[in-house]
Amino acid sequence: MDQAQRLREFMNRHHVQEEKKQPSRMITITSGKGGVGKSNFTLNFALALKEAGKKVVILDLDLSTANIDILMGATAKLKGSLADVMYQKKYLFDCIEKGIGGIDYIAGGLDIQELMKLDQKKLIFFMNQIQELNSYADFILLDTGAGISKMLVDFILASDETIMVTTPEPTSIADAYSVMKAVHQFTVQPPKFRLVVNRAKTYREAVDTSRALKNASSVFLKMNLNTLGFLMEDEHVGKAVRSQTPFYLSYPNCEASKNIKQIMYTFLPDMEGNPSSPIKGIRGFFEKILFLRKS
């Protein structure tokens, strides 16, 4: 079975149109430190986008503590990863997992630096496979590792926008700022960042956290940080994590689920109605990665 036939059969099985008006939007979701609820936000945000009629694929690129599948209760061995596509010439659509709520996700297992070592034939195969997602997804959410690394900076610079997740804790705020500062050192034109404040005990605490980061990024980095929304502290989130089911499905009427839905309502009109710059798409994302690695 050739590549084109595999793609057609996969898309027919999932009732997907082969043509899209525009490429997939690449959204990096990150945080300055671990333990702030980044992956949990990514999963529930994806479910809200899906409920709004958008096709979403999550790329789990947190190589150290990849846990999207754990949050969905998945324990079976993964069918494959982006690393398998890169090294073993596995077809991308053979690596897509179907998670809870119908969310598609692909394991990363990918060291971007290894892209530079591929011969031309393997690189072309990898890029062609990656390009196929543009015919499949509206949004590709990149769940990255926390903390500062050159790989994370490259992801942010190559994405269409980045969602920064933080909590009101001073260390979380400081680490989120450090990531933006690191990105600022590598570019003249700041990329688009948007902020989500998670686990705020009160609305005032959420606003104060947002204002602190916005002011610091504006004054010291000359970077405009827009607030996407707040997630209030909610006991249902912990219950959902322990039961390995997304709170957006388990407790659709809880405060956190209402917050996620509001974040989705804020996100979609801005992304679709007034894109801040031309959409790179997934091929543009990896081409940018390769350029950054060479420079």
- In CATH, what number is assigned to the domain containing residue 28? 3.40.50.300
- In this structure, the dihedral spanned by the alpha carbons of residues 39, 42, 48 and 52, taken in order and rounded to 10 degrees, is -160
* pLDDT grade for 216, boundaries at 50, 70 and 90: very high
Q: What is the mean pLDDT of residues 150-156?
A: 85
**In 12-146, beta strands by DSSP E:** 25-31, 56-60, 97-98, 104-107, 139-143
Q: With respect to residue 137, please indicate whether it lies within any of the assigned structural domains.
A: yes
- Average pLDDT over the chain, rounded to an integer: 85
Residue closest to 150 by CA, chosen among 111, 188, 206: 111
Residues 6+ apart with CB under 8 A from 110: 61, 63, 81, 82, 83, 86
**Residue recorded with tokens 């600022």:** 184
**In the chain, beta strands by DSSP E:** 25-31, 56-60, 97-98, 104-107, 139-143, 161-166, 193-200, 225-232
Q: With respect to residue 102, please indicate whether it lies within any of the assigned structural domains.
A: yes
- Supply the pLDDT for residue 65: 56
C-alpha angle 264-266-267 in degrees, rounded to nearest 5: 65
Q: Is the pLDDT of residue 56 over 90?
A: yes
- The boundaries of the domain holding residue 211 are 22-294
Q: Distance between CA 156 and CA 28 in Å, rounded?
A: 6
Q: With respect to residue 11, please indicate whether it lies within any of the assigned structural domains.
A: no
Q: With respect to residue 14, please indicate whether it lies within any of the assigned structural domains.
A: no
* pLDDT grade for 152, boundaries at 50, 70 and 90: confident
- Supply the pLDDT for residue 19: 46
Q: What is the mean pLDDT of residues 207-227?
A: 95
The predicted model scores a pTM of 0.87
Residue closest to 60 by CA, chosen among 144, 140, 134, 163: 144
Asked whether 244 and 72 are in contact (CB, 8 A), the reply is yes
Q: What is the mean pLDDT of residues 274-293?
A: 72
Q: With respect to residue 112, please indicate whether it lies within any of the assigned structural domains.
A: yes
Q: Is the pLDDT of residue 74 over 60?
A: yes
- Supply the pLDDT for residue 17: 45
**How do 25-31 and 193-200 pair as beta strands?**
unpaired
Q: Distance between CA 244 and CA 280 in Å, rounded?
A: 34
DSSP labels for 160-185? SEEEEEE-SSHHHHHHHHHHHHHHHT
Q: With respect to residue 15, please indicate whether it lies within any of the assigned structural domains.
A: no
Q: Is the pLDDT of residue 210 over 50?
A: yes
How confident is the model over 85-137, as pLDDT tens digits?
888 778 889 989 888 898 999 887 776 667 777 787 887 888 888 888 887 89
Q: Give φ, ψ of 91 to 5 degrees.
A: -75, 135
Q: With respect to residue 1, please indicate whether it lies within any of the assigned structural domains.
A: no
**Number of structural domains the chain divides into:** 1
Cα-atom radius of gyration of the chain, to the nearest Å?
Answer: 18
Q: With respect to residue 5, please indicate whether it lies within any of the assigned structural domains.
A: no
